[in-house]
A and B are shown apart, each in its own frame.
Chain A
Amino acid sequence: MIIVKDVYKRYQTDHGPGDWVLEGVNLKIPKSVSVGLVGSNGAGKSTLLRIIGGVDYPNKGSVDRKCKVSWPMGYAGGLQGSLTGKQNATFVCRIHGHEDDLEDRLRFIEDFAEIGEAFYEPVKTYSSGMRSRLLFAMSLAFNFDIYISDEVTAAGDAAFKNKAAKAFKDLSNRSSMIMVSHGEGTLKEFCSAGIWLHHGKAYWFDKLDDALKAYKESLAA
């Protein structure tokens, strides 16, 4: 269960504080339900995901995570450029308490990412495709109750995309998801419930179709 309580968020711009992106978001997201986030561009979908994932912080309000929640998958963040892929992976394994089976996890990450010898090179030498391969492999190596995903299936080249999609499917069978995707098909494939973000507020729908309907009606109006 994730409890989002009265969350307000705005970003600092060059001209002082910007407009509110989120204005009093209240949500209770159950552990066992996969949720799709819908809303127009700039509605605050990614912002909300980042706040739920703990990468960004609200100006006001709080997020209470009562289960194991992943970091947001699908961003380029979380890799220290001066460290090698392996060192980054080792660090992440350690902070998630996998000291004992470190070797196994690292082997899994190396095998899944398929970036060859680059795994032993500093991340700053990676292409963006290689980065996303490594990040995706890293997020698969741990068992979270809820995965947070922002367009994650868009990572890598065609071959990797197929593999990632399959792995993602397996993942969705054992854990639940909170995801953003502009592909309606992807959302329908993975999610049962929906959250519609509109003018800084979040609306919960038990059925994703209702959320999509509300979103489309707001576009037409």
Chain B
Amino acid sequence: MNIQQEIKNTTMVWKALFLREALTRLFGRRFSWFWLFAEPITHIAFFVLIFTFIRVRHIGGMETAIWLMIGMSAFFMFKRTATQSMNAVDSNQALFYYRQVLPVDAVLTRALLEGFLMTIEIILLITLATLFGFNFSPAKPITILGAYCGLWFFGLGFGLVSSVVNGVIPESAVAIKFLLTPLYFISGVILPIASIQNPYREWLMLNPVAHGIEAAREGFAPYYHSVPEMSLGYLWILGLIAFGFGLVLHRNYSVKLVTQ
């Protein structure tokens, strides 16, 4: 088969997978689409309420509510992409029966769908918050784009790697879930990393997700005192490494994921 035909086949598979995933994600159960959007928004609204109630007005020179909204939405961009793409292989097992459908296709399309849905969600969140009187000033649009895309990309890399690892060593699924829960607390989503002393801060900043979250905040408030160690390049480099490693794993282990 020539390359042109292969590309055509792959795009056909991606389109079919994307539409199939979108359908279950949005309409799989009653009001799935509603919960999909309502879950992160209520989650964020809840924390904004708590923090304004205990009167923390500013964090690092940024309005707390906006600090939370940006940080949490950025975190969800990573977390949702990572978990959704990690489970993509399991959820499409029967479809690998058709030889043109590979596990890596399922992971990639799921990540694409999740990134697409999260983008809509973030726009929805910002619009709603603006209607409630919060003022967003996207001062550095390139940084914002780089941060959210970087978190998405790192989530995809994470998903590519973990989908193979979970398939080859089933016990690891528990360990990975174990890892993801504290990530919420150590990524500086609700507790500002900038207020932590060195050397502990440097240790926390080994986590690439924290870099993306801080960068997103900086993009929305140029006067924001972000963590000094923050670097978007670090997030992207680790994302690239995870992505490349994940592709290699899929190339070597896809047969193992498909056959029983």
Contact = CB atoms under 8 A, between A and B. Distances in A.
Contacts of B9: 95, 97
B16 A91 contact: yes
Contacts of B16: 90-91, 94-95
Interface string A91-116: 11011110100000000000000000
A97 B8 CA distance: 9
Contact of B99 (A71, A75, A90, A94): A71
A40 interface: no
B24 A95 contact: no
Contacts of A82: 24, 28, 91
A77 B97 contact: yes
A54 interface: yes
Contacts of A53: 99
A83 B20 CA distance: 9
A91 B92 CA distance: 12
A80 B92 contact: yes
Nearest to B255: A57
Interface in A53-100: 53-57, 71, 75, 77-83, 87, 90-92, 94-97, 99
A96 B100 CA distance: 9
Given A57-B255, A80-B92, A87-B20, A97 B12 contact: yes
Contacts of B92: 80
Contact of B97 (A55, A57, A90, A97): A55
- The 8 A-B residue pairs with the shortest CB-CB distance in the complex, in nearest-first order: A54-B99, A94-B16, A78-B97, A80-B94, A77-B97, A57-B255, A95-B16, A91-B20
B187 to A, nearest CB: 32
B77 to A, nearest CB: 26
Interface string B11-46: 011011101100110001000000000000000000
A78 B95 contact: yes
Interface residues of A, number: 23
Contacts of A95: 9, 12-13, 16, 98, 100-101
Interface centre among B8, B92, B99 (most CB of A within 10 A): B99
B15 A77 contact: no
A94 B255 CA distance: 23
B94 A77 contact: yes
B258 interface: yes
B197 interface: no
Contacts of B181: none
A92 B146 CA distance: 36
A55 B255 CA distance: 10
B245 to A, nearest CB: 23
Contacts of A96: 12
B23 A87 contact: yes
Given A83-B24, A95-B13, 13 more contacts: A71-B97, A71-B98, A75-B97, A80-B92, A80-B93, A82-B24, A87-B23, A90-B16, A90-B19, A90-B20, A94-B12, A95-B12, A96-B12
Contacts of B12: 94-97, 99
Contacts of B94: 77-81
Interface string B88-123: 000111110111110000000000000000000000
